Structures are given as C-alpha cells and as structure tokens.
Copies of this chain bind each other. A is one copy, B any other.
Amino acid sequence: MHYPGRTFSAPLIRRLPEYHAFCESLANQGQRTVSSTAIAEHCNIDSIVVRKDLENIGAKGRPKIGFIAAELIDAIHEYMGWGMLDELIIAGCGSLGSALISYSGFSRRGFKIIAGFDVDQDVIGTKINDVEVFSLTKLSNIVQRLHVEIGIIAVPPEAAQKVADSMIDGGIRGIWNFSPCALNVPRSVIVQQEDLMSSLVILQKSMKPQQINSNTAKEIQL
C-alpha cells in the first residue's frame, strides 16, 4: 500500500530536528516568518530539500513570505511525535547504559526511561538518575506488567540475543540495539541497530575519498 505525498523516511526524520532548532532560535529572536532558503543555508543543504521535506509533513507556506515560524515549529513537533509520552526500559546499566539513562534529550522529547536492568549485583537495587535498576531476570515480568513497548539493549554482544528474547517475551515491539550484533526476532518486532563503530568508519572513509577511489581504479584495471 502506498500513500503518495506524505512519506515517512529516515533522512527526513533526521533533518527535521535541525529545522526545528533553527526555527525556535529565530522565533526567540522575535522573527515571525522563515523561508526555506534561510533554513537551507543554516543547515548547509539545498533549499529544494527543505521545501520537499516541509511539503511532506504538510506545512504550508506562502510565496514571497515563507513559512510562519510558530506553525512550522508546531508541525515538526507533531510530526516527530514529541507531544506524547513514550516509556522505555533499558537492559545493561554499564557506562553506555548509564549515559543513556542520564541523557537529558529524551525527557525533553517525550521519552522516559522507567526502569533499568543489569546482572551486576552491585548495581541492582541502586538508582541511576532516579531510575531504579532491577535484575535482568525480572525484565520480562516487569515489562509485561508496565506494558512497555520499546526496549534499549546496551549489554555485551554475547548477552544481547538472550536479552532480546526476554524483552519480546514481555511484549516489547521495538528494540533499539547498541550491541554490535544481529538479533533474531519475529517479524512483528522492529530492531533499530545503532552501530557506533560503523558510524565512525563511515566518517573515516568520507574523509579519504581519493584513497578509496585510487584503490578502486587499481582493482578495476587488474
């Protein structure tokens, strides 16, 4: 089934917050309107991209004037779903897990981590940034009782599959996986892979396009 006009795509979701931040800063400076060209310039992208994106989320502008900043802010806010509260749990409360629990961005955007889970007896029972840490053995049960739908995995790769299984047992439908490994899940469960290592390699490769190309050329002539 395909609905034209209003699409949901990852690149779009990644650009919208930048527009939002820019519009907010303009609005705070007392500016009422904002043009797609101004947004584009600030974000270092083409204005056509901005116009297409705004079309996709249903924002309406006026020729010569642009978009009403306040309207745009609201439209992005609503499209991103920042209005409604969503509750998460996290498995793995090591350094990365703790950092995620303490990350202030989540609460600002309607996400709330309501429980942490770990195997370390020293951590279980403590609170990290007001979030209580339970034993991993209780995960499935607590998830079920609290009807949580999204779980974060921040455990070592060896333990990730088992954690995923108990999350799914408890009724989790979406997994945000920081562990660098493929998870085996039923088709109804969505996995969002967050591979930090790969992001770093992509940056590294982007910095040396000529080197990649010369290798390429060499290989081809063989």
Known interface pairs A1-B213, A6-B216, A150-B203; 10 further A-B residue pairs with C-beta atoms within 8 A, sorted by A's residue number: A3-B217, A6-B215, A8-B209, A13-B198, A18-B182, A21-B180, A80-B201, A95-B98, A174-B206, A194-B199
- Does residue A109 face the partner (Cβ distance < 8 Å to B)? yes
Q: A99-107, A137-145, A162-170: which lies at the B interface? A: A99-107
- Does residue A197 face the partner (Cβ distance < 8 Å to B)? yes
The one of B8, B111, B207 that contacts A174, using a Cβ cutoff of 8 Å: B207
- Shortest C-beta distance, A15 to chain B (Å), equals 9
Interface hits, A1-41 → B, CB 8 Å: 1, 3-6, 8, 10, 13-14, 17-18, 21-22
The one of B95, B157, B192 that contacts A206, using a Cβ cutoff of 8 Å: B192
Contact B176 A190 (CB under 8 A): no
Q: Mark A188-214, 1 if CB is under 8 A from B, else 0.
A: 001011111111111111110100110
Copy number in the complex reads 2
Q: How far is the CA of A197 from the CA of B18 in the complex (A)?
A: 12
Q: Mark A116-129, 1 if CB is under 8 A from B, else 0.
A: 00000000000000
- Shortest C-beta distance, A127 to chain B (Å), equals 15
Contact B196 A105 (CB under 8 A): yes
Interface of A is mostly: helix
Specify the chain B residue showing the minimal Cβ separation from A193: B14
- Does residue A58 face the partner (Cβ distance < 8 Å to B)? yes
The 10 closest A-B pairs by CB, nearest first: A192-B203, A99-B99, A95-B99, A3-B216, A6-B216, A96-B99, A174-B207, A95-B102, A14-B198, A190-B206
The one of B86, B205, B216 that contacts A204, using a Cβ cutoff of 8 Å: B86
- Does residue A49 face the partner (Cβ distance < 8 Å to B)? no
Contact B105 A180 (CB under 8 A): yes
Known: A3-B216, A43-B182, A182-B22. A8 touches B205 (CB 8 A): yes
